């Protein structure tokens, strides 16, 4: 069963970004390293950014049922155009640390970044969310922040192609928590997540909740040497923002052309984005990304 889970995960997530960092899978290797990050040059702002960088190390010393891990993250900014300020400090910090245990169909994770987040699967170079650092000043307003992830637990049930879980972190009085469910097959998944935290980290108020509800799906089709992919999200936020995301992609000979449409019903805002990227050695991508709001990037994405 463990092999089925692993094979299914690898097949269905071959184009995933960031999920090797934020979510977990059973791995047979004793030592395994994953990384995700984006280094970009914005032609619209004439700025270079190491927008985000994550490095995760997994250790499975005893059996496939116990996994230790730690993750560091960082970024490095240059400047915000036409803004005067003192030099920004380099940023490097421990993002996550802990242990995962699988026992039959039950799993438990005790860790430093416990909370599930919105769906970060994307066919483009940049995920359609902010990871919340100073290098993302030029991200469009339609990009929402990823749900905060703090020290706590995840536990749930893993039935080969179906996962259901609960996560809860602890940060002052925010108590971020959520329910996660995912059904996945060889070339398809459907994902649901409901996330909550208390808006005021200083004073606990039971009726003062911030929430995110999201339904996502992805389907891949193989036709000769071409892979056609589609991703769909609909996300509802506390402030009545409803954001619709569509992505379409074609992959041929390690070259991926990706298109993205984002629409916020509340603000009546729409952005169209496109990227083309070339994969090298299943480790990194080099390409371009543009948006109808005037952003134009040359970027390198590390993703393995």
Is the distance from CB of 129 to CB of 72 less than 8 angstroms?
no
Decide the pairing of beta strands 129-130 and 144-145.
Answer: parallel
Distance (Å, whole) CA 257 – CA 268: 27
User: Quick one: CA dihedral 207, 147, 245, 183, positive or negative?
Assistant: negative
What DSSP string describes 240-277?
Answer: S-EEEEEEEEEEETTEEEEEEEEEETTTTEEEEEEEEE
Using an 8 Å Cβ cutoff, are 141 and 107 in contact?
Answer: no
Tokens of 155: 């536990």
Quote the pLDDT of residue 20: 84
Report the distance separating Cα 185 and Cα 25, nearest Å. Answer: 15
Comparing 280 with 1, the larger pLDDT belongs to 280
Compute the half-sphere exposure of residue 27: CA atoms within 13 Å on the CB side of its CA: 19
What is the tens place of the pLDDT at every residue in 43-78?
Answer: 998 888 888 899 999 998 877 789 999 999 988 877
Q: Which residues contact 156 (CB under 8 A, 6 or more apart)?
A: 106, 107, 163, 164, 165, 166, 180
Query: What is the model's pLDDT at position 88?
Result: 60
Q: State if pTM tops 0.75.
A: yes
More confident residue, 259 or 21: 259
Residue 16 has pLDDT above 60, yes or no: no
The count of other CB atoms within 10 Å of the CB of residue 109 is: 21
Domains of the chain by start residue, with CATH: 2-303 (2.40.160.10)
Average pLDDT over residues 177-206: 89
Confidence label for 14 from pLDDT (cuts 50, 70 and 90): very low
Look up residue 6 and give its two tokens: 């692993």
**pLDDT for 248:** 97
């Amino acid at each position: 069963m463990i092999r089925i889970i692993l094979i299914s995960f690898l097949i269905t997530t071959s184009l995933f970004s960031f999920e090797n960092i934020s979510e977990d899978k059973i791995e047979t290797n004793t030592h395994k390293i994953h990384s995700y990050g984006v280094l970009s040059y914005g032609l619209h702002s004439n700025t270079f950014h190491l927008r985000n960088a994550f490095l995760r190390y997994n250790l499975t010393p005893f059996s496939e049922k116990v996994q230790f891990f730690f993750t560091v993250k960082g970024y490095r900014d240059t400047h915000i155009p036409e803004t005067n300020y003192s030099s920004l400090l380099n940023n490097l910090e421990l993002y996550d640390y802990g242990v995962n245990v699988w026992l039959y169909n039950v799993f438990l994770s005790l860790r430093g970044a416990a909370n599930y987040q919105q769906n970060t699967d994307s066919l483009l170079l940049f995920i359609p969310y902010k990871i919340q650092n100073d290098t993302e000043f030029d991200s469009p307003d339609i990009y929402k922040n990823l749900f905060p992830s703090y020290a706590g637990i995840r536990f749930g049930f893993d039935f080969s192609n179906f996962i259901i879980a609960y996560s809860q972190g602890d940060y002052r009085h925010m108590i971020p928590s959520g329910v996660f469910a995912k059904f996945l097959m060889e070339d398809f998944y459907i994902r649901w997540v409901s996330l909550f935290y208390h808006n005021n980290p200083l004073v606990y108020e039971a009726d003062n909740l911030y929430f995110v509800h999201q339904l996502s799906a992805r389907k891949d089709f193989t036709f000769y040497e071409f892979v056609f992919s589609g991703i769909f999200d609909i996300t509802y936020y506390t402030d009545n923002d409803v954001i619709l995301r569509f992505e379409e992609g074609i992959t041929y000979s390690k070259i991926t052309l990706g298109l993205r449409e984002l629409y916020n019903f509340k603000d009546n805002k729409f952005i169209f984005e496109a990227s083309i990227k070339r994969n090298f050695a299943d480790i990194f991508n080099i390409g371009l990304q543009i948006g109808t709001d005037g952003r134009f990037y040359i970027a390198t994405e590390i993703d393995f």
